[in-house]
Chains A and B, each alone.
Chain A
Amino acid sequence: MRLAILLLLALAAHAQVPYSRLLHSAKEPHNWLTYSGNYSGQRYSTLDQVTAANVHRLQVDWVLQTYTTESFETTPLVVDGVMYLTIGPNQVRAIDARTQAVYWTYTRRIPDDLRLCCGRVNRGVAVLDDMVFYGSIDAHLIALDAKTGKVRWDVELADYKLGYSSTGAPLALKDKVVTGMAGGEYGTRGFIDAYDARTGKRAWRFRTIPELGEPGNSTWAGDSWKTGSATTWVTGAFDPDSNTIYWGSGNPGPDWNGDVRLGDNLYSNCFLALDADTGERKWHFQFTPHDTHDWDSTHVPVLAEIPFRGARRKVVLSANRNAFFYVLNRENGKFLHGKPYAKQTWAKGLDDNGRPILNANIDPTVEGNLIWPSLAGATNWFSPAYNPRTNLFYASVREQGAFYFKGEATFQPGAVFNGGGQRTNPDEDPYGAIRALDPESGSVKWEFKIHSPANAGILTTAGNLVFTGVQNDFAALHAESGKLLWRFRTGGFINAAPITYSLDGQQFVAVAAGRALLVFRLSPESSPTK
C-alpha cells in the first residue's frame, strides 16, 4: 500500500504540470500556471479573499532582492508552492513560496556582443510536465528540469549576432512549447516557433513575413521582405476549443523609414490566429498597415466572451499601441468595432474593416514630424486585463506625442536598422492613466490618472480589484469605479505585471518593483477566516 502511494507520488512528481492542468487552470486559481494566468490572456483571477472592502489591509509579507542591473519585468509562475521567476540578464530561479528557500538558480553564460534595442530583460517562463521553459537573451529556447534547474535541452532560435533575441515568456500547450522572438530594430525576419516539449525538436515555424511567392509577400517592395522584422516578442494566448494560438506581431523594419518597404508589410503589426498543431495561419488582422511609427502590435491577445449587439460573442480584444481599441471576432478575425482610447493624430478613424483612414502627412521627416502617440505608443507590451465580472478591459495608457524622424536605412547584418527615431515634445506635459474600456461600446468607463505615461501591467480579480504599478507605487483600484483603494510605496519603478496566488488558504499578490519582487498578503492579525 505504502509502495503504491510512493509510486503514485513518483509519477505525479514526474509530470507535475501535465497539459490537462494548464487546460483546466480555472480549477486551481491558487496557482499561477501561465504567463497571463490562463490561456485566455485575461490576467484575471477568481481568488476573492482580498477584496475591495479589505484591500487596505494588504501588507508586504516578503521580498526577494535580485541585485539585477536590468529592468525587472518578470511574471513569476506559482506551481504547488514553488515560484519560478526570471532575473535579467540571464537567470531562472525556483524558490519555495512558503519559506523563500532557494531550490535552484540557473545562470546562463551569455555573450557580451548582444544586439538589443531595450535592455537584457526577460518576462518569465512557461511550465509543462516536469520542465520549465526559458527564452534566453541570446535567442535560445531552453528546457530546464523543474526539480533541479538542469538543462534538459537547449536550441538556438536564431543567430543573436544578427540581432535576434528572446525576452518574452514561452507558452506551453499540448505537447509543445511555443515562443516568439525579438529584434525588430535589426532587420531580422520574424517567426513564431513551436518545439516538442520532450525533445526540443522544432514542430513548426510560422514566418511573420511570407516567403517569395507566398500570399502576402507582394506587400513588401523588392527585397524588403527579407529584412522586415515583424517580431513576436510578447506572449500569445490559446483557445483550446478551436485549437487556435493567437499572437501579436511587431513593427516592420526599418521602423521609421517606410520608403524602402512600400506596401502593407504583412504580417507586421498583426494579431495572427494559428493552428496549434501545424502553425498554419487561420486568419490575420493588421492594425497598422505600412507602419512608420514603430507601433508594434505585440500585445497579449485578450480572449473573452462578451455581450455584443444582443448576442454573446467570442472576441479577441486589444488596446493597440496605435491608440485604437479593437474588438475582433476571434473565430474569423473580422473587425467588430474600434475607436481611440488615447490621443492620436495619425488617423481619421477606422473603416468598416478596421483599416485606418489616414490623415495627410503623418510620416516621419528628416526635420521631425509631431504625431500622437509617441513611438512607445498609447500603450506598450504591458499586460492589459479583462474582468468577466465587470466586463471591462483595463489598459495602461500613455498620453504623449513625439517628433518623428526619418533617417538612413541601409541594411547591414547585425547592425541597427531603424531608419530614424523620435524626440519628445518639450511643450507637452505627458501623463498616463489606467483606463477601463467597455468592449461593447469601446468607450472609457473610468480612468485613474498617473503623473507620467503608464509603464506597468495590470491584474484584475474577483475581489473587484485592479492591481497595477503607478510609477513607484503598487496600487489597488476598484474594478468598477477606478477609485484608489490602497497603495504601497515600493521604492522602485514598476515595469512588470502583477500576479496573485494562494497558499494554505492565504491569498498573495506579487509584483516585480525596482530590482525586487514584493509579495503582499492581508495583515495576519485580522485575516478573514474563510
Chain B
Amino acid sequence: MRFAAFLFAAGLAAQQPPAPLPTSPADLEQGGKLYRGSCGYCHGPQGDGGKGADLAKPKLERASSDEQLVNVIKNGIPGTEMPGAWHMIDNEIRQVAAFVRTLGKVEARPVPGDPANGKQVYASAGCAACHALREQGRLTGSLAGPELTVIGSRRNAAHLREALLDPAASVPDGYLIVTAVPLAGTAVTGLRLSEDTFTLALRDFSGRNHAFLKSSLKDIRKDPRKSSMPSYRGKLTATQLQDLIAYLASLKEPS
C-alpha cells in the first residue's frame, strides 16, 4: 500500500512543471547565507567571480533556466572545479539559486578595453608560448600552462588582472611547482602531474615528463606560492594590459 501510494505521488510529481524559485525575503536571506558559506569562496562574496565563474550577470552560460541553475548547484559541472552541493537539501538549493539570480540583477559592468586590440597583445606578448586556445575544435598554442579557450567564463576581470600582474597570488590546481632532488643526479623542477605516497610525476619547463619513486629522492620541495608564469607588471602598457584583459574576458563558453 505504501509502495502504491509512493508510485502515485511520484507519477504526479513528474507531470507537474518545475516550481518557480522562492522569492520571499526570508528565502533570499537564507540563500545568501548558504551562498556565502558554500559558494562565495570561489565565486566571490558578491558573486563577481574569482576562482569560480562570475555570477553577477543577467545570463549564466551554464544555467539559462532556473532548473538548469538548480541542477548545476546540485550536481556540479563534471570536468571542472565546480562540485555539487551534496550537503544541501532541495529547498536550500532553490534558495541559493534564487539568491544567485539576484546577483544577476545588478547592472552588468562591461570590462573596459578593446578585445580586438587585446588579441594582438596576446600574440605579441607571447602568451601562446605557454597557453592554448581551441578554435573550431583545434588547439593552437602551447599546453605548458592552462588552456584559455573559455577563461572568460571561469575567471572575472579582476582575477585575470591579478593573474597577469602577480601570477603567484593564485596558482591554479595542477600547476604546483615541485623540485625533485634524486639521491644521485641533478634535481628536476617542474609542474606536479601526480603524487601519491610512493611516486611523483612532473613536467619540466622544457616540456619533458619525469616520473620518480620517492625512495629514489632525497628531497621534494614544493612551492605553492610560486608560478611558472612570468609577471607582466611593467612589461605591458596600461592600455595593453586593459585590452588583453578585455580579450581574455571575451573568451566565453558558448551560451
Contact = CB atoms under 8 A, between A and B. Distances in A.
On whether the two chains bind one another, the answer is yes
A12 B164 CA distance: 78
A321 B21 CA distance: 38
A470 B197 contact: yes
Interface stretch (A41-49, A417-425, A517-525): A417-425
Interface string B27-54: 0001001101110010000000000000
B3 interface: yes
Interface in A357-409: 365-368, 403, 405, 407-408
Contacts, number: 60
Contacts of B195: 451
A450 interface: yes
Interface residues of B, number: 22
A471 interface: yes
B38 A405 contact: yes
A430 to B, nearest CB: 13
A418 B87 contact: yes
Contact of A367 (B33, B87, B89): B33
Contact of A421 (B2, B36, B86, B91): B86
Given A161-B6, A471-B197, A366 B37 contact: yes
Nearest to B95: A408
Interface string B1-19: 0110010000000000000
A30 B181 CA distance: 45
Interface of chain B: mostly helix, strand, loop or mixed: helix
A182 B82 CA distance: 30
B147 to A, nearest CB: 22
A434 to B, nearest CB: 11
B34 A421 contact: no
B89 A405 contact: no
A361 B22 CA distance: 31
Contacts of A422: 87
A25 interface: no
Given A161-B3, A368-B37, A368-B38, A408 B196 contact: no
Given A161-B6, A449-B197, A451-B195, A423 B38 contact: yes
Contacts of A489: 198
Interface string A477-489: 0000000000101
A449 B195 CA distance: 14
B91 A367 contact: no
Nearest to A449: B197
Contacts of A420: 87
B2 A407 contact: no
B92 interface: yes
Interface string B184-218: 00000000000111100000000000000000000
A161 to B, nearest CB: 7
Contact of B92 (A159, A408, A450): A408
B91 A408 contact: yes
Contacts of B38: 368, 405, 423
Nearest to A424: B83
Interface in A413-441: 415-416, 418, 420-423, 426
Nearest to B85: A421
B88 interface: yes
A347 to B, nearest CB: 23
Contacts of A403: 37
A443 interface: no
Contact of B198 (A159, A426, A452, A473): A473
A366 B3 contact: no
Given A368-B38, A451-B196, A421 B6 contact: no
A329 interface: no
Interface in A429-474: 449-452, 470-473
B163 to A, nearest CB: 17
Contacts of B3: 161
Nearest to B91: A408
Most chain A CB inside 10 Å of its own CB: which residue of B2, B3, B197: B197
A135 to B, nearest CB: 21
B37 A416 contact: no
Nearest to A422: B87
B196 A472 contact: yes
Contact of B89 (A407, A449, A487): A407
Contacts of A423: 38, 41, 83, 87
A113 to B, nearest CB: 8
A450 B37 contact: no
Interface string A8-45: 00000000000000000000000000000000000000
B40 to A, nearest CB: 9
A292 B170 CA distance: 33
B198 to A, nearest CB: 6
Task: Give 7 nearest A-B pairs by CB, closest first.
Answer: A421-B87, A368-B37, A367-B37, A366-B33, A451-B197, A471-B196, A451-B196
17 contacts: A365-B37, A366-B34, A366-B37, A403-B37, A407-B89, A416-B89, A418-B87, A421-B86, A421-B88, A423-B38, A423-B41, A449-B197, A451-B195, A451-B197, A471-B197, A487-B198, A489-B198
Given A407-B87, A451-B197, A470-B198, 5 more contacts: A366-B33, A408-B89, A422-B87, A423-B87, A473-B198
